[in-house]
Amino acid sequence: MGLFLDVFTKVFFILSPFFSVSMFLLLSRDMDRRTRNHCALRTSLSILIICFVVYFFGNVVFHVLGITVPAFQVGAGTLLFLTAVQMVTGKRGELTMDEGEDFAVVPLAIPMIVGPGTIGTLLVLGMEISSTREKIVAASAVFLAVLMISLFLFLAMPIGRLLGQKGLQMMMKLTGLILTAIAAQIVFTGIRGFLGDARA
């Protein structure tokens, strides 16, 4: 249960629910309800597929390139920290789209929601967890986190009306602060791994 909650919390906040809602509302502002829901479904499926591919098959990247887990933890944590800083300062996701351009998969699902920090964190999770049972538990947590993000997208209009633009920005900044702590933990774990390997 501890592993499930830990992975769920990390992935949920890394996927930045309020940032996702804000960007989705911005890009879908001219759509009717049916088209918006169809777009939310396509975005959600894209996020799920990307996350699972990275989580289950990311270890191939490590073996091919010869990258150690501590090295990637430091890199992924740094990228996640930069993403969090952008969220806190309100500079993340500044984007213009041509009218009528399809945005559900690119750029909304990737790289806006599933950005470099998310990909790096999922790669590290996939490498850190070795036992089959724990991998299934963690995958279930990732699935639930993506499902929650999907719910946020489908309820984007009510959430936007409830919080307003300033409310969304405040929640994004709060999410960014939480992400800085997660990023710091990933970096420190990587550094500890480096030091442990050096002593060995």
Q: What is the pLDDT along the chain (200 residues), one digit of tens a residue?
A: 799 999 999 999 999 999 899 989 988 988 999 999 999 999 999 999 999 999 999 888 777 878 777 887 888 888 888 888 888 887 665 544 555 567 899 889 998 899 878 888 898 888 888 889 999 999 999 999 999 999 999 999 999 999 998 998 898 888 888 888 888 988 898 899 888 877 76
Q: What are phi and psi of 98, to 5 degrees?
A: -70, 145
Question: 60 is in which domain, residue-wise?
Answer: 2-93+101-199
pTM of the predicted model over 0.75:
yes
In our burial notation (b when 16+ CB lie closer than 10 A, e otherwise), range 2-25 reads eeeeebbebbbbbbbbbbbbbbbb
Residue 90 contacts by C-beta under 8 Å, 6 or more apart in sequence? 169, 172, 173
Count how many residues are written for the chain. Answer: 200
Count the alpha carbons within 13 Å of 7 in the hemisphere toward its beta carbon: 25
Domain count, the chain: 1
In terms of C-beta density within 10 A (0-12 exposed, 13-18 middle, 19 or more buried), how is residue 166 classed?
Answer: exposed
Report CA-CA distances (Å) from 20 to 118, 154, 174.
13, 11, 14
